[in-house]
Amino acid sequence: MSLEAQTAVAGDEPALAYTPEVARATAPIYDRLRGVLPEIEWPIHAPYVDAINRLKRQRDAIILAHNYQTPEIFHGVADLTGDSLALAQQARDTDASVIVLCGVHFMAETAKLLNPEKTVLIPDLEAGCSLASSITGADVRLLRQRYPGVPVVSYVNTSAEVKAESDVCCTSANAVEVVESLGVPRVIFLPDEFLGRYVARHTGVELILWHGHCEVHERFTAEDVRAFRQSHPGVQVLAHPECPPEVLAEADFVGSTSGMIAHVGKSGAKRVVMITECSMSDNVAVAHPDVQFIRPCNLCPHMKRITLPKILRSLERMVYPIEIEPQVAARARRAVERMMEIGRGARG
């Protein structure tokens, strides 16, 4: 297959050309990515990186990218990056008139909740999340009937409809603090069972759990961790709290995606395995070329729906705008803002 054919946009649009001007304009970006992106791939990405970076300025747009985005997005076009909490904080604080959210749908919805007047775009509407789709607003209303008076804490990995039925939201970075902030003995915590079990171990609060799971993290096993330790002696094991409890029990550090990134810098570890989505290690390796990352390759199919060609199309056509029914939005916003008042948790 010719390079032109390979670089054709998924779909029907013609590929953008890798001209000498594009090569010059994007060379400093590629220099940073050299360690994680083969040189042969750059002519495919560079024309999109260049076009997106020019168009976002014309549109007064800002690109927010989650830590699981691929390196050409994360380091090539994103203005701000982070975990779910950081993305929400950055969305709240931006002056740009357009936000392009390179992540999954619930993240774009959260950005819209915090910026009702702004245009928030997601490059692919199908970028969902197994946790968000595990529960509906009607499910939460039933839980409230079953446990009258017990407050509901919802992980941000939920739809606006579910957030609207909740007292407060949390992310993996602040879940323990949010639960403790309520000052009650019992809380309904949803939808991530494993994050809930992690929170329960770190608080004296009894949690009523839902059985939602992340389809990426639930696949890791304690046996995987032991195998990494055996094949890579001295490796530091960092795990996301969406992993099963037996995996977390084997880890040296448990934290949100940004918490794991910060830990790499602070710990001075020379060999690291991140028990989480695959692209994280590539993104972190750019800033830590001296650290050896062992990469367990579990991809999030939803995060991977976001591509450079789709980001360009998003800016060209202003698609796909996030819309939330105003009454739902007003109630969901309260739950997110209440979380933001509590701030970033000590565990990061």
**Would you tell me which residues interact with ligand 13P (CB under 6 A)?**
67, 83-84, 157, 171-172, 214, 240, 242, 256-257
The reply to whether 99 sits near ligand SF4 by the rule CB under 6 A is no
Shortest gap between Cβ of 212 and ligand SF4 (angstroms)? 9
Considering the complex, state which of residue 7 and residue 276 has its C-beta at the smaller distance from ligand SF4. 276
Shortest gap between Cβ of 217 and ligand SF4 (angstroms)? 6
The only residue of 45, 56, 59, 302 in contact with ligand SF4, by rule CB under 6 A = 302
The only residue of 157, 159, 281, 283 in contact with ligand SF4, by rule CB under 6 A = 157
CB atoms under 10 Å from CB of 256, counted, come to 27
Among residues 97, 81, 3, the alpha carbon closest in space to that of 47 is found at 3
Strand bridging mode 168-170 / 152-155: parallel
| Region for residue 118 given its phi and psi (left: phi exceeds 0; alpha: psi -120 to 50; beta: otherwise) | beta
Considering the complex, state which of residue 7 and residue 158 has its C-beta at the smaller distance from ligand SF4. 158
Contacts of residue 246, Cβ cutoff 8 Å, sequence gap at least 6: 221, 222
Shortest gap between Cβ of 219 and ligand SF4 (angstroms)? 10
Kindly state the helix (H) or strand (E) to which residue 66 belongs, with its residue range: strand 61-66
The only residue of 62, 87, 235, 303 in contact with ligand SF4, by rule CB under 6 A = 303
Considering the complex, state which of residue 84 and residue 236 has its C-beta at the smaller distance from ligand 13P. 84
The reply to whether 193 sits near ligand SF4 by the rule CB under 6 A is no
What tokens appear for 153 in the block?
């804490």
Considering the complex, state which of residue 7 and residue 174 has its C-beta at the smaller distance from ligand SF4. 174
The reply to whether 279 sits near ligand SF4 by the rule CB under 6 A is no
Considering the complex, state which of residue 92 and residue 186 has its C-beta at the smaller distance from ligand 13P. 92
The only residue of 198, 277, 280, 293 in contact with ligand SF4, by rule CB under 6 A = 277
Q: Which does 67 bind (CB under 5 to 8 A by kind): ligand 13P, ligand SF4, none?
A: ligand 13P
Q: Which does 171 bind (CB under 5 to 8 A by kind): ligand SF4, ligand 13P, none?
A: ligand 13P
What tokens appear for 57 in the block?
């300025």
Question: Would the CA dihedral through 285, 286, 287, 292 be positive or negative?
Answer: positive
Shortest gap between Cβ of 240 and ligand 13P (angstroms)? 6
Contacts of residue 81, Cβ cutoff 8 Å, sequence gap at least 6: 64, 65, 66, 67, 69, 74, 283
The only residue of 79, 215, 252, 337 in contact with ligand SF4, by rule CB under 6 A = 215
| Residue 49 near residue 72, CB atoms below 8 Å | yes
Q: Which does 172 bind (CB under 5 to 8 A by kind): ligand SF4, ligand 13P, none?
A: ligand 13P
| Residue 279 near residue 70, CB atoms below 8 Å | yes
The only residue of 131, 225, 269, 285 in contact with ligand SF4, by rule CB under 6 A = 131
Q: How many residues does the chain have?
A: 348
- Rounded to 5, what percent of the chain is helix, strand, coil? 45, 15, 40
The stretch near ligand SF4 (CB under 6 A) out of 42-50, 71-79, 129-137, 223-231 is 129-137
Contacts of residue 59, Cβ cutoff 8 Å, sequence gap at least 6: 97, 98, 315
| Residue 279 near residue 72, CB atoms below 8 Å | no
Whole-angstrom distance, CA of residue 250 vs CA of residue 165: 35
Considering the complex, state which of residue 22 and residue 153 has its C-beta at the smaller distance from ligand 13P. 153
DSSP 163: H
